[in-house]
Structure 1
C-alpha cells in the first residue's frame, strides 16, 4: 500500500446522512517545513487515484518535493477513500450515500488541520474534478488558501458538463434496463459502454481529425477506442462510478450554507491568486465557462491551454501541454500573496 489512511470517524454528510467509519486515503510527497507553510494540496479527479497525479510532481518541477509538502487526497468514491466498493452494508455498492465536493473539501480540511496542524496552503491545484475541489477550497477557506490553479476544471457543473455525465450514467444503468432496484447487479463489464460514450468528449474533434492517437501508439481509431476508453473504464467499479457521477453532476462551489447558491458571490469571495487554465478545445468543460468564472474571481488570470487534446490537455499525456501547466504553476508560486496581482 503506497498511501495512508486518515480516519474521519462517523461523518454527517451535506445530505444529512451519517456515513459510519469514513476515511480519506492520501499520499504525501516531500516534507512539511517548520513554519508549515510549504503546503500544496492536489486532489484527484473523477476515476483517478493519487498515482495518476504523479506526472506533475518531481524534482525541478513546480510541484517539487524538495521544496514543498504535497498532499494528494483521494476523492470519496474513487475506491481508495470511502467508496461503494469498500464500505460495509448498509452503505455498500448502490446504497452508498450522496457525497458532494463540499463534503470532500471539508474532510480534506480536517486531514490538514487535525493530522498535520496546517493553517496555510501555498497552492491548491487540480485537473477536472480536482479543479472543482481547488475552487471549493478557495471559496470555503479564503483566508487559508493563498493560490489556486484549476486546469480543465470548472467551479460548478455547467449544463454542458451535466449532460455529458448524464449520458455516461445512462449508458451504465441501461445495462439493468434503468431498473434502480437492480443496480447491485452491475459489473465492471458494463463499463465498456461508458468508455465509448466518453470517447467523444475527452478529446477534441481536431484530435481525431489529425489522428493524434497515433502518437500514443494506436494504429487505428478502433484500437484507440478499445485501448484507451474501454480499457480505462472497465477497470473501474460501476458503483464507484455512479457515486462519482453524482458528485460531479451536483458540483457547485456555492451549494452550501456559506453561499446559499449565490455562485457569483462564491467566486467573488475567493481571495487566492488564481491561474485558471482550461483546455482551448475542451468539449467537456468548455473554456468559455472557465472564462466566466475567472472574470469574477478578484485575483485571477485566465490562461487557456492551446491544445488539440481537449479535456485531456490536463491529463499529463502531451508534453507541450504538461510544460505549459508546469510553467504557469511556477509563475504562480513565484508571486507574492501580500497584495500582488497575478
Structure 2
C-alpha cells in the first residue's frame, strides 16, 4: 500500500509524564519547497481524531497556504494512528497501556522535526483548527523567538472546565460498550463508537445550524437520523477507540502553562507569546466559546480577536465543511501573512 506521508524517527522520546516512547515515530506530510533562506515554512498541526489528509482543504493554489509560495508541514499528532499511537505501538505500550501524551510533548516532537529534519530556525506561521489550535498556542508559547505569526481557529490555549466535562460524556459513551473490554478489545467496539458519535453530534454544530436544518439544506442529508448515522456515526466508526481516548486525554489536559517553563501561570504564558496572532473563534462554537478567546487575546501582547461569523458551530473551522467559512479563514490567513 502506498503512503503519502513520511516518518521522522524520534528515537527514545521522553514524555512530560515520565514515560519514554521507544522508537517513537512522527508522521508528517509536506507541500511546496523550502526556500534557500528557509523562511517560508508554515506548520499546520492536525486536530482531534484526524490525520494529515483532513487538513488539506485549506491548502491550494491561490490560497494563503499555497505550495507555490509556502513550505507547509502537517505533523500528525501522537495517538492519531499514523504517528506513534495505541494502535501501532509494540508491547508493552500498546493499546490502553499507551502513555499519556500532552500537547507540550506533541509540539516538542514537531519542533525536533522542523529543526533537525529541515534546519528551520524561523517559522512564518503556525495555524490549526480545534486541537490544532491548541498546538498552535503551544508553538507560540514554547518557541516565542522562532514563531513569527500564529492563527489558532476554533480552539483554545487551555481546555476549559466545561470542555473537560463535555469530553467526559464522550469518553463515557465510548467505554460503556462491553466490547470495549477496558481497551483490550478484539473486535471494534462499534456500539460505543456509535454512542460517542451521538454525543458529539450535539456539540459539533450549533443550535442555529440545526434550527435552520443545514444538515438537510446545505449538506444534503435526507433526514436528521440520516445525518446522525451517515455523517456522525460514519465519522467515528472507522477510528480506533484507544487512539480516540489517547487524543481525548491530550485534549482534556491541554494547557500552554502546564510545563517547566511556566509552572502553571496561564496569564504569564499568554503574555510570553511574541508572535503576531489572529485568534479566531467560531461565533457559535459550543465548546470553544468566543469569551475564552477574548480572555486569551486580552493577555497576549500582539494578538487580534477575529471571530468567524458563522452558525456552523465548531465546524466553522473545518474540515472545509462550509465554503463561506473556508473563504473567511483563508482571507484572514492571507491578511496575517502580509502583515
> When the two structures are superposed, what TM-score results if normalisation uses the length of structure 1?
0.96
Aligned residue among 252, 269, 272 for 1:249: 252
Aligned residue among 264, 270, 274 for 2:273: 270
Residue 132 of structure 2 corresponds to which residue in structure 1? Answer: 130
Q: C-alpha distance in 1, partners of 2:118/2:183? A: 39
Aligned residue among 37, 40, 43 for 1:41: 43
Matched, 1:326 2:327: no
Shift of residue 126, structure 1, vs aligned partner: 0.1
Aligned residue among 273, 294, 297 for 1:294: 297
Shift of residue 210, structure 1, vs aligned partner: 0.5
Matched, 1:240 2:265: no
Aligned residue among 20, 23, 37 for 1:21: 23
Residue 69 of structure 2 corresponds to which residue in structure 1? Answer: 67
Residue 89 of structure 2 corresponds to which residue in structure 1? Answer: 87
SS class of match (2:176):
helix
Q: C-alpha distance in 2, partners of 1:33/1:322? A: 27
Residue 230 of structure 2 corresponds to which residue in structure 1? Answer: 227
Residue 52 of structure 1 corresponds to which residue in structure 2? Answer: 54
Residue 164 of structure 1 corresponds to which residue in structure 2? Answer: 166
1:188–1:237 Cα contact (<8 Å) kept:
no
* Partner deviation per Cα, 1:242-295 (whole Å, 9 max, x = no partner): 100100000000000000000001100000000011000000111111111111
Shift of residue 182, structure 1, vs aligned partner: 2.8
Q: C-alpha distance in 2, partners of 1:307/1:219? A: 23
2:282–2:313 Cα contact (<8 Å) kept:
yes
Q: Output aligned runs, 1:273-284, within 5 Å.
A: 273-284=276-287
SS class of match (2:194):
helix
Stretches (4+) displaced over 3 A: none
Q: C-alpha distance in 1, partners of 2:292/2:36? A: 40
1:176–1:183 Cα contact (<8 Å) kept:
no
Across the two proteins, how many residue pairs are aligned to each other?
333
Q: CA RMSD in A?
A: 1.1
2:131–2:251 Cα contact (<8 Å) kept:
yes
Unpaired runs of at least 5, structure 2: none
Matched, 1:101 2:114: no
Shift of residue 183, structure 1, vs aligned partner: 2.2
Shift of residue 25, structure 1, vs aligned partner: 0.2
2:281–2:306 Cα contact (<8 Å) kept:
yes
Residue 339 of structure 1 corresponds to which residue in structure 2? Answer: none
> When the two structures are superposed, what TM-score results if normalisation uses the length of structure 2?
0.97
Q: C-alpha distance in 2, partners of 1:188/1:67? A: 44
Residue 196 of structure 1 corresponds to which residue in structure 2? Answer: 198
1:188–1:235 Cα contact (<8 Å) kept:
no
Q: C-alpha distance in 1, partners of 2:65/2:128? A: 12
1:160–1:285 Cα contact (<8 Å) kept:
no
